[in-house]
Amino acid sequence: MPSPSIQTASERYLQLIADSRSENTHRTYNQAIRNFMAALKKRGIHTNQVAPSEATTDWLTWFVAALKPYAPATESLFLTALVGFYEYLVAEENSSINLTQVHSILKRRQRKVTPRLPQFPREQIESVINYVNSSASAPSLDDKERLRRLRDRAFICTLADTGLRISEACRLTRGNIDWSEGRAIVPIKGGRESVVRFSARALSALKSYLNARSELDGGTGRALASLPIFARHDDGAGKKILRLNTVGAREIVDRAVVGALGKEAKGTITPHSFRHYFVTVVLRASGGNLKLAQELARHKNISITQRYAHLSDDDLDQNYHSIFNRKS
């Protein structure tokens, strides 16, 4: 039996990522490895002929050089994916590459990423929330449109008031939510679980949506607890309860943004913008309590939460001027 090629090994690695990580992570890693394979081919490496055991740190150096046109943040993501691939080669494909040397090369040659301040147009996001609220109560042409409007409101309110990532929200099932306690145990990054709290607004929107969907849910013959919270309501789904995927979730946000702010605003607010919004709201309401915001947003490192602290600057300015520049 012929030895596997580095191309085959990369496909196995990406399948492992697909099985164990989020859709977004798999998409990023897939793009990174494709770019890596392309960089090797430009250097005359036949990726479908070279064995994993022949991998060298020179390949990494070539890839770092090939990433110069990219932003440092993108470079960092792609190199994280590649380091994971090298670790996979050592663990699973009998490669003897020196991982200590791999990390040393990255430490010397990788560009530093300047932390970007998160962008969250708070007033526009609140306009989107108001839009889906009013849209859900407006007359609908048919039951399917009514379900879509109720679902869209529930989804937007859930993102805004829980801090859930888009993939986490899409994976929610009815059995995840403890309705009496207003919280859910949800699977998160790294195969862990976490408690997520739901606001009264989000719970009310969810209940309205699920009540309107009760006939469809009952007709599935499946246990209610196993059904997804957010389902598709397009022609392809018919009367089946199919889980909403992240592509459909982004379409929900785009549709709401266009409806609330106009076509020119499409893309200015993404599903992740609502997570930024959530952290901002917590910080503002808690007087800048970073620890509270970190716990509720489920940030591993408080330094991530600190990136949002600048959002309170306008509040500090207002309070300062009210104290020192007030009219006597």
State pLDDT tens for residues 86-118.
Answer: 999 999 988 889 999 999 988 888 877 655 555
CATH numbers and ranges of domains, the chain? 6-109 (1.10.150), 123-315 (1.10.443.10)
How far apart, in whole angstroms, are the C-alpha atoms of residue 71 and residue 57?
22
| 66, 35 contact by CB (below 8 A) | yes
pLDDT-derived band at 131, boundaries 50, 70, 90: very high
- Alpha carbon 45 to chain centroid, angstroms: 35
pLDDT of residue 81: 92
The mean pLDDT value of the chain amounts to: 86
Under DSSP, the state recorded for 47 is: T
| 70, 111 contact by CB (below 8 A) | no
pLDDT of residue 94: 83
pLDDT of residue 24: 82
| 270, 253 contact by CB (below 8 A) | yes
pLDDT-derived band at 314, boundaries 50, 70, 90: low
Buried b (16+ CB within 10 A) or exposed e, 88-108: bbbeebebebeeeebeebbee
pLDDT of residue 73: 82
Q: In this model, does residue 301 exceed pLDDT 70?
A: yes
| 129, 160 contact by CB (below 8 A) | yes
Within 13 Å, how many C-alpha atoms sit on residue 93's CB side? 25
